[in-house]
Chain A
Amino acid sequence: MKNGALSKLYILGILLFLYTPIFVLMLMSFNESRYNTLPFVFSLKWYEALKDNTTLMTAMNNSLYIAFVTGICCVILGTLFVLGSQVISGKWKGLFSSMMVMPLSIPWLIMGLSLLLMIRAFQMDKNMFFVFAGHIIISLPYSVLVLQARIQALDSALDEASASLGANALTTFRRITLPMLAPAMVAGGFLSFMMSFDNFVISYFLIPAGITTLPIEIQSSIKFGFTPEINAVSTLIIGISLVCLAVVGAIMGSSLKSIFNGGKA
């Protein structure tokens, strides 16, 4: 039993390390000082300031919008991909699959700047199209991995049974495959959404001047004056993410895990 107590203590220690900065961040959002200095004086003023900060709100909306479109695109592309790759075999399958998850194992710095060079090679101005392209590329693997794990677990015998009962391919898809994939689509989409929502590096390289996202805004606040409004907004985001996580978790508990499962080396 001593062993068990020790284990729990260990977990507690790790969680403490994991949550310390997050706790500090939340704490400082309720601190009066503009420079995050101690002593601590309770205040809600940064939350009030948040309401009137249109730049931050615009940035937040843009981030949500980009992440939403990215999430949808990733689910569509990902679903099509895993459905198609079911019937591909041999070396092509391996090649396609590893290409699909390739962006996971390349630093974002390289992804971002190579896209920037592409824009430059075509002598274009920075534009939103490439921002979306960049976000989709780095978020797509997450959708694909979740969907792949799910589709491998599906029984292909069901497809065949459905076909032998006279259902055409589309009906089979609509009545059998789609409902069974739906939870994985939600979970995958959610992960892609979060990857895009949080992404700084890709946006940093590709965003056109004058448009801003939340991470970009945080970075430029670091440049021109990082006020605890940023802490306040992050605290709110953590709260909202928790709710989303709970909902998605309820829809499909195991899918979130399977993403890492599928990503085995």
Chain B
Amino acid sequence: MKKRIALMLLAGAMVVSCLSGCGVKSTSDTDQNGEKQKLYVVNWKDYGSDDADFIAAFEEANNCEIVNTYMSSEEELLTKLRTAKDGEIDVCLPNCSILPAAIEEGLLKEVDSSKLENFEKMFDRFKEQPECIKDGKLYAVPFVWGSTAIAYNTNLIKEAPTSINALFDPQYAGKITFRDDYNDAVMTAALVTGQDANNPKDMDAIKAKLLEQKKLNKTYWKTGDEFSKLFASEQISIGMMWSGQAAFMKQEGQPIAYVVPEDGAIGWVDNWGIAKGSQNEELAYKFIDWMISRDFQYNWAVNGGPAPVNQEAADSLDPEYAAGAGMDETSLNRLTFMQYRTDEVKQTWNELWTEVKSSK
């Protein structure tokens, strides 16, 4: 009797696992056709690099097939790289916050920039981005960048703010929204208190500044949509915002303007890397080269994407659009780019931010 029950249990478990395998549709399903070479990409969902038209064009041009798997966080990408067997991942998309860790652990292959036609067309800043380089060797190629700075309502605020201090300015009291994100909060407050945003020393000054700022807010926002609703209903007139979304809202007809102020703001960069176990290096290079090509970068940028690293692409943009979306060179040079942080620093910063949020 016991044996039969054990068998039943086993059968039940098998049914569940079969059911869990099929039936649920992943949005990454691609047709399995024949012997085509496959390129395994770890990607963000609904990102330009995962666009159906691009995939079709690339597959056509190289007679291959792109297989996307998606990550939901940078941490997850690290886990995937650590546990993947040879050949399971070819290309991946780390940002600067995890890149040094990935390189340090030997999860990425060295990149030979001479195999990339478009490498030389990048802004100099990106050709020698410190996070991509270890011991003088290149391990990753910058892809796109963006910023988190100030957006304001042009109907309600006539004069463009020139300093990041605007987010801390009592004249906008009750009409400001600040982002609920420990990293953005600490970095911005560091900029305002005149410190190195990536290595602030005086954490007490930052805490004091953020506590002072807290009283001026309508609310903190967490997701892009919260901001757009607060903005559209005029509950706020100024706030911390991402470049990409501000540009999108402007296209939608909102009276919004985006500025990267003279005293700086926060920037981020996404990069491409080739996984240690890749068996498909040639195709991987072609993929990355396509990603940083003028045409791809230009098309994505004008369709609400982030800013291009390719200088030709950036130069082809309508200057007014570029400036309005914080994609121009002036904005680029004002940014402090987010760097890799150890777990300890993350915990300290997060704790400081939790304390600010929990105090009355």
Contact = CB atoms under 8 A, between A and B. Distances in A.
Do chains A and B make direct contact within the complex (CB under 8 angstroms)? yes
Contacts of A126: 76
Given A209-B71, A224-B224, A125 B24 contact: no
Interface string A98-127: 000000000000000000000000010111
A206 B214 CA distance: 34
A36 B229 CA distance: 8
Nearest to B16: A132
Contacts of A132: 16, 19-20
A115 B70 CA distance: 21
B63 interface: no
Given A62-B24, A69-B19, A131-B20, A37 B83 contact: no
A246 interface: no
Contacts of B12: 76
Nearest to A35: B232
A65 B228 contact: no
Interface residues of B, number: 32
Contacts of A209: 45, 69-72, 76
Contacts of A58: 25, 27
Most chain A beta-carbon neighbours within 10 Å: one of B24, B28, B45, B229: B24
Given A125-B80, A129-B20, A210 B26 contact: yes
B252 interface: yes
Given A125-B79, A125-B83, A209-B71, A65 B24 contact: yes
B116 to A, nearest CB: 27
Interface residues of A, number: 32
Interface string B26-46: 111000000000000000011
B228 A128 contact: no
A34 B253 CA distance: 12
B71 A35 contact: no
B90 to A, nearest CB: 17
B278 interface: no
A62 B24 CA distance: 5
Nearest to A204: B72
Given A125-B83, A209-B72, A223-B225, A55 B27 contact: yes
B20 A222 contact: no
Nearest to A63: B24
Nearest to A227: B225
B26 A226 contact: no
Interface in B40-87: 45-46, 68-72, 76, 79-80, 83
B118 to A, nearest CB: 28
A36 B235 CA distance: 13
B80 to A, nearest CB: 7
Most chain B beta-carbon neighbours within 10 Å: one of A55, A66, A221, A224: A224
Q: Which 9 A-B pairs have the closest CB atoms?
A: A210-B70, A209-B70, A35-B232, A128-B20, A209-B72, A223-B223, A226-B225, A129-B20, A132-B20
Interface of A: 34-37, 55, 58, 61-62, 65-66, 69, 73, 76, 123, 125-129, 131-132, 208-212, 221-226
Given A35-B228, A132-B20, A210-B70, 8 more contacts: A35-B232, A127-B20, A208-B70, A210-B45, A223-B224, A224-B224, A225-B224, A225-B228
Interface of B: 12, 16-17, 19-21, 23-28, 45-46, 68-72, 76, 79-80, 83, 223-226, 228-229, 232-233, 252
